[in-house]
Amino acid sequence: MALFRKSAESANQEFEALELARSAAIADASSPQHVGDFVGVEFADENRVASYLFESFLPGYKGWRWCVTVAKVDNESEPTVCDVVALPGPESLIAPDWIPYVERIQPGDVGAGDVVPSNPDDSRLVPGFAALPQDEDLDRVQLFEYGLTRPRVMSIEGRDQASKRWYEGDRGPNTPIAQQAPKHCSSCGFFLPIAGSLRAAFGVCANAISPEDARVVSLDHGCGAHSEATI
């Protein structure tokens, strides 16, 4: 469908339905003040269908246009209004593209009482029966749970994502508190290694006076509350 920008007189001569289209737009808008100047006309179906465009002055729809579709069976028949809609113009304000909820949710969005429906295709998880011994870095706990207790366990991809997020986050080695710490968490008496394949890189802080208490930290993280810190 091509858009031809013509004067009102030219468009009316070709299809003889300009005033009919304007009247239909005014009727749909409920007020002549909401229908502006003629913008252009689109022809389709061997010029038997025409869509007339008018400026729209509807409140809240800046830059939009009225589109009135008119049809004729042949050159001798009378035009008939098929549809009247408001469409966004090239400079109109429109809503952004829809983003599924699973892509919109960010860390910290889920609060008390909130429920996030599980995604059966989550690549971070695999069925318990899919946790095979030959998988690289497979958790011993996962082997024990083969087909038991949990229907899904973390996949290698899921563990890699978690490791990267934790290591590059606030409890990795590159934060100011870690870089100014007297020693690393790996040598701290309050450091509790976690189970599974992530044990080689992460643990949980159990020092009540540490700002990282009850949080996952990397082995090369650190803080001033190290168990062997001296002044």
- Give the pLDDT of residue 8: 46
* Direct distance between the N- and C-terminal alpha carbons of the chain, in angstroms, rounded to an integer: 79
* Contact predicate 26/57, CB 8 Å: no
Q: What is the CA radius of gyration of the chain?
A: 33
Length of the chain: 231
**Which residues on adjacent β-strands are paired with residue 127?**
152
Return the pLDDT at 218.
97
What's the rounded Cα separation, in Å, for the pair 104 and 3?
37
186: phi then psi, degrees, rounded to nearest 5: -60, -25
Strands (E) across 30-79 are located at 35-44, 49-56, 64-71
Q: What is the mean pLDDT of each run of 10 residues along the chain (231 residues)?
A: 46 71 91 91 82 91 91 83 91 82 80 81 79 50 56 86 95 95 95 88 95 96 93 73
CA atoms within 13 A on the CB side of 114: 7
CB atoms near residue 114 (< 10 Å): 8
φ, ψ at 146 (rounded to 5°): -55, 110
pLDDT at res. 168: 96
d(CA 181, CA 221): 8
Predicted local distance difference test score (pLDDT) of residue 162: 94
Residue 199 phi/psi, 5° resolution? -60, -30
In sequence order, the 6+-apart residues with CB closer than 8 A to the CB of 120 are none
| Domain range summary for the chain, segments of one domain joined by + | 2-88
